[in-house]
Structure 1
Amino acid sequence: MNPQLYDREGARRLLEDELADSSYQRQFTGPLREAIDAFLDWMAERAFSIGGVDVPFGPLLVLGAVIVTVIIIIVVVRPRLQRGSTAQEAVQIDPQVTAAAFRAHAQECARSGDFNTAAQEAFRAVVRAAEERGVVRQQQGRTATEIAESLSSSYPPFSTTLQRAADLFNRSLYGSVSLAKADLEFIADLDMQLQREPAQHGGSIDGPHLAVPR
Structure 2
Amino acid sequence: MPLDVPLDVPVNPDAGQARDWIIAELTKPEYRAPEPTWFDRLSQGFLDWLGSLKFSVGGAAQGPLLFIVGGVLVAAAVTAYLIFGPPRLGRRSAIVGSLFGQDDSRDAAAMRRAAADAAGREDYTLAIEEQFRAIARALAERTVLTVSPGTTARDFSGRAGASFPSLAGRLATAAETFDAVRYLGRPGTRDGYLELTALDTELRGARPLLAPVGVG
Name the TM-score, length of structure 2 as normaliser. Answer: 0.51
Is 1:108 paired with 2:117?
yes
**Range with bigger deviation, 145-154 or 123-132:** 145-154
Alignment check: 8 A CA contact 2:147 2:156 kept: no
Structure 2, unmatched stretches of 5+, are 1-98
Alignment check: 8 A CA contact 1:109 1:117 kept: yes
Which residue number in structure 2 is paired with residue 23 of structure 1? none
**1:100-179 equivalent positions in 2, closer than 5 A:** 100-179=109-188
Task: Provide the C-alpha distance between the structure 1 equivalents of 2:187 and 2:104, rounded to a whole number of angstroms.
Answer: 27
Which residue number in structure 1 is paired with residue 197 of structure 2? 188
Alignment check: 8 A CA contact 1:154 1:205 kept: no
Question: CA 1:93/1:135 → structure 2, altered by over 3 Å: closer, same or farther?
Answer: farther
Note the C-alpha offset of 1:176. Answer: 1.9
Greater gyration radius: 2
Which residue number in structure 2 is paired with residue 20 of structure 1? none
Task: Provide the C-alpha distance between the structure 1 equivalents of 2:108 and 2:164, rounded to a whole number of angstroms.
Answer: 18
Deviations 1:18-37 (A, max 9, x none): xxxxxxxxxxxxxxxxxxxx
Note the C-alpha offset of 1:139. Answer: 3.7
Note the C-alpha offset of 1:205. Answer: 4.3
Question: Normalized per residue, which structure has more helix?
Answer: 1
Instruction: Give secondary structure in 2 for the equivalent of 1:137.
Output: strand
Deviations 1:161-214 (A, max 9, x none): 00000000011112222121111010011001001000112583448xxxxxxx
Cα RMSD between the aligned structures?
1.9
Which residue number in structure 2 is paired with residue 197 of structure 1? 206
Alignment check: 8 A CA contact 1:139 1:147 kept: no
Identity %: 27
**Range with bigger deviation, 164-173 or 196-205:** 196-205
| Counterpart AA for 1:157 | S
Alignment check: 8 A CA contact 1:93 1:124 kept: no
Alignment check: 8 A CA contact 1:120 1:169 kept: yes
| Counterpart AA for 2:140 | E
Task: Provide the C-alpha distance between the structure 1 equivalents of 2:203 and 2:189, rounded to a whole number of angstroms.
Answer: 22
Instruction: Give secondary structure in 2 for the equivalent of 1:164.
Output: helix
Alignment check: 8 A CA contact 1:110 1:118 kept: yes
Question: CA 1:202/1:105 → structure 2, altered by over 3 Å: closer, same or farther?
Answer: closer
Structure 1, unmatched stretches of 5+, are 1-89, 208-214
Deviations 1:32-90 (A, max 9, x none): xxxxxxxxxxxxxxxxxxxxxxxxxxxxxxxxxxxxxxxxxxxxxxxxxxxxxxxxxx7
Task: Provide the C-alpha distance between the structure 2 equivalents of 1:205 and 1:162, rounded to a whole number of angstroms.
Answer: 17
Which residue number in structure 1 is paired with residue 58 of structure 2? none
| Counterpart AA for 1:173 | R
